[in-house]
Structure 1
Amino acid sequence: HLGKRLINDFSLNAGRDPQHYGIGLKELWDVPAEKHEPGLVVHGSGWPLDSNTHGGWFLYHAENQQVVVGLIMDLGYQNPWLSPFDEFQRMKHHPVLSQYLEGGKRVAYGARAIAKGGFNCLPKMTFPGGLLIGCDAGTLNFAKIKGLHTAMKSGMVAAESVFEAIKDGDEGGQELASFTSKWEASWAYQELKESASFGPAIHKYGTVGGGAYNFVNQLLGNKLPNIHDTTTDHGALKPAAEFEKINYPKPDGKLSFDKSTSVFLSNTNHEEDQPCHLRLADPELPIRDNLPKYAEPAQRYCPAGVYEVVEDDQGKPRFQINFQNCVHCKTCDIKDPAQNITWVAPEGGGGPNYPNM
């Protein structure tokens, strides 16, 4: 929330590609002892996502007979009928995954948007009196599906720069120009630079073509031309009339589940008498514009059932926000085609409470 404000207020993304995001959905399972293989890591891509929808899944065998399973899906998808939550639930029926989950019990659920645009989307990270670092700047290396190491390094460089400024008598309010040179000299910056075309290549050429481009580029030592993706994630969405409606299978309550029971496992909580923390710039827009053009995609891109189109007493459609369900993934702030929704911080203490997630 604050990062978005800072980027806009100080034009920190001027001359950069727009940031790109993915939504990560994750569950924690207790599994039978005979199916538990501590340390086993399984990654995959493809089904259930089609060739125009990019993403990948993971399954990790943790300690205490627990398994972590999840899906990261690109938010630059085109089809407004698509539901990341339902794709995730359907994914678990693949035999590669179901063989470990069958007979187990789901104990936690969560979702979070991640900034994955990479090097080409990195904003200017300095502004008067402050720094934009880590995930707020988008330092995740999507080629490795890792970001903790680069985020921590940006924080370490920031700490060094602030320490030097204080030592030199800087009382604040100035731009820490030394941070930029230190950051660009770091291994983290170089790592991100080397994978600059990874995401854009997949967006431009698809999963197979983009994967081939990245493979060849890696063999050549990243000598191929840098690819840019200037289409925003919300701008990629196309009218619902251009696609066939997706009828997802009903959850079986064993491997796949509905949103309400999933949200319960996120332990999310908000006091119901507080102001809604999901702000609409134009309250009429969802029904007036998004419903006829996009079949109001908020009903589907939200992984927690926050947004619904219901009928009022006169039988007319009404946009309903169940903010109590919110798991603070911030997908709505990113994917709404009109950029009409802004996520702001709710009352202190509200939100999900994830155990071992």
Structure 2
Amino acid sequence: MEYDVVIVGGGPGGLATAIRLKQLAGERNAEISVCVLEKGAELGAHILSGAVMDPGALTELLPDWKETGAPLDTPVTEDRFLFLSQTGARSTPNWMLPACFHNQGNYIVRLGDVVRWLGEQAEALGVDIFPGFAACEVLYTDDGKVRGVATGDVGVARDGSHTPGYQPGMELLARYTIFAEGARGQLGRQLIERYGLDKDADPQSYGIGIKELWEIDPARSQPGLVVHTAGWPLDTDTYGGSFLYHLKDNLVAVGLVVGLDYANPWLSPFEEFQRYKTHPAIRSFFEGGRRIAYGARALTAGGLLSLPKLVFPGGALVGCEAGFMNVSRIKGSHAAIKSGMMAAEAAFDALTADRSHDDLAAYPAAFQQSWLHSELHKARNFKQWFKKGRTIATLMTGVEQLLLRGNVPWTLHRTKPDHACLRPAAECTPIDYPKPDGVLTFDRLSSVFLSNTNHEENQPIHLTLKNPAVPVDVNLARYAGPEARYCPAGVYEFVAGEDGAERLQINAQNCVHCKTCDIKDPTQNIVWVAPQGGEGPVYSGM
């Protein structure tokens, strides 16, 4: 199949790219064919975010979004920021909060619902959207330019044979291919390496966000309330914090973000999140409520300093594929939409000039002049300060963002990727996590059940090992098997083999596609690849 533009990924960035291309075609009476490939079973199935959304970029893209029914219907009414100790909570007065923590004019959303709505707008403009098709391979011209992608085969058995339901993948060719797979995208990672797009950038930094959706007692519901915390349960040297957002219909989204540059291999982000909910200042929100959904997703946290080169011959990176998230604001959707719009405008101009398969240089040039660049530039040091400890990070964030409003003459760089930050287990203190009570705190398997995750068991495992001996010989021996703790879905466990020796068992059917293993594995031995299209979690408005 041939298109003018193929977009890989049906999230905010990919759909904004598609919508803007079709808008420009309509305004200038041009014919441009556009398709979006989405690996989830439906648009929004793999989307997970907090989320408080800044509507600025959406207003630029679709000025009439309110009139056309966009699901942004819970405006923020109150911000609270708490510093937690194990038993206490200290509230920060609003006048002391930097602008990045103020959410007036923003909306609490279920991002999966927003994405589905964006998909409807795209289809109405004539965009072809193919959910359930995972792009698994980048296609190149003979001289090394991107010419499209290929989707994966389906109906392949674990032994490599073809089942009765076998269908070969498709090649989708394009004059330009835009990659919007989200954080740590499978194909984006390959492109960054192939073209050396990150050679002038700091190593990308990531966090894992673990989230639950609760239906709470109506008497405790406060639609529009935004609560963020720092401190307990994380130690002072570990980056992270929590969010608790009150939506309409007695729903609360609650989650914890843990920086994947943490050092202690005994740390479990999943268990840290569970015990966070037991804090006296937090647990009261959930009394009399019930958990109705669960999920997890990696997020980019390196900001402006970790952005790779955005373009290469034949394509571009947009959204969290590149790392546009503003971690100081805990927001990425507005950045994804804006980056997609700028990429679309550059691609449209190239197409109307009868160009193809070259660098869309106008896209990074437009970004340099945009409000998005200014916003990210002001926040460029936010994550880096946390490597000096929470106290210094809190102080310097106040100095940079509150006193100097982001206009600082200094820039902090980082040189170490997240996986290299893990220390040997013998040098660290084990963490004793309490057992789940099944009411407020839960185990991994009951959580994965709520994510509606499904994978066909008789297929090649999509969590691949470069060297099968490394998990036991290195990770278990040196780091006490961190795979079993950093995975929020119980995919990895060390079990005794027939000879009594331990081996790594991979329960790939549990995978929620968070990509944490691909990022945090200390030996970089695990490589996440897409399973058959349509498989994985099926989130409902997460």
TM bucket normalised to smaller: over 0.9
In 2, the alpha carbon distance for the partners of 1:173 and 1:224 equals 39
Counterpart residue number, 1:209 = 392
Compute the displacement of 1:190 (Å): 1.3
Query: CA separation in 1, counterparts of 2:484 and 2:196?
Result: 32
Partners of 1:310 and 1:121 lie apart in 2 by: 38
Gaps of 5+ in 2: 1-185
- In 2, Cα distance between the equivalents of 1:330 and 1:212? 32
CA 1:220–1:39: 2 relative to 1, 3 Å: closer
Which is helix-richer, 1 or 2?
A: 1
Aligned partners of 2:439, 2:212: CA distance in 1, in Å?
13
Structure 1 residue 288 corresponds to structure 2 residue 510: no
1:335 aligns with 2:520: yes
Task: Trace 1:287-306 onto structure 2 (pairs within 5 A).
Answer: 287-306=472-491
The equivalent residue for 1:175 is 359
Q: Is the 8 A contact 2:242 2:256 kept in 1?
A: yes
Q: Residue 196 of structure 1 corresponds to which residue in structure 2?
A: 380
Alignment of 1:217-256 (within 5 A): 217-218=400-401, 219-221=403-405, 222-256=407-441
Q: Is the strand fraction higher in 1 or 2? A: 2
> What runs of 5+ residues in structure 1 fail to find an aligned partner?
none
CA distance in 1: counterparts of 2:421 and 2:430, whole angstroms? 18
Match of 1:150 in 2: 335
> After TM superposition, what 4+ stretches of structure 1 lie above 4 angstroms from structure 2?
none
Contact 1:217–1:224 (8 Å) recurs in 2: no
Q: Taking every aligned residue pair, what percent have the same amino acid on both sides?
A: 54
Deviates more, 1:286-295 or 1:173-182: 173-182
Name the aligned partner's letter for residue 462 of structure 2. Answer: H
Equivalent residue letter for 2:295? G
Q: Deviations over 1:125-176 (max 9, x none)?
A: 0100000111000000011001111111110000110011111111x11111
| CA distance in 1: counterparts of 2:471 and 2:413, whole angstroms | 31
Indicate the structure (1 or 2) with the bigger Cα radius of gyration: 2
How many residue pairs get aligned? The number is 355
Matched, 1:106 2:291: yes
Residue 7 of structure 1, aligned match among 189, 192, 211:
192
Q: Note if 1:94 corresponds to 2:272.
A: no
- CA offset digits 1:229-288 (Å, max 9, x no partner): 111100000000011211100011111000010010010000000100001000110001
Contact 2:213 2:291 in 1 (8 A): yes
Question: Does 1:184 find its partner at 2:368?
Answer: yes
Compute the displacement of 1:177 (Å).
1.3
Equivalent residue runs for 1:19-30 within 5 Å: 19-30=204-215
8 A contact 1:102–1:254 mirrored in 2: no
Residues 198-248 of structure 1 deviation map (CA, whole Å, 9 limit, x = unaligned): 111122x21120121122123234224100111110000000001121110
Decide whether the 8 Å contact of 2:237 with 2:386 is kept in 1. Answer: no
What amino acid sits opposite 2:294 in the alignment?
Y
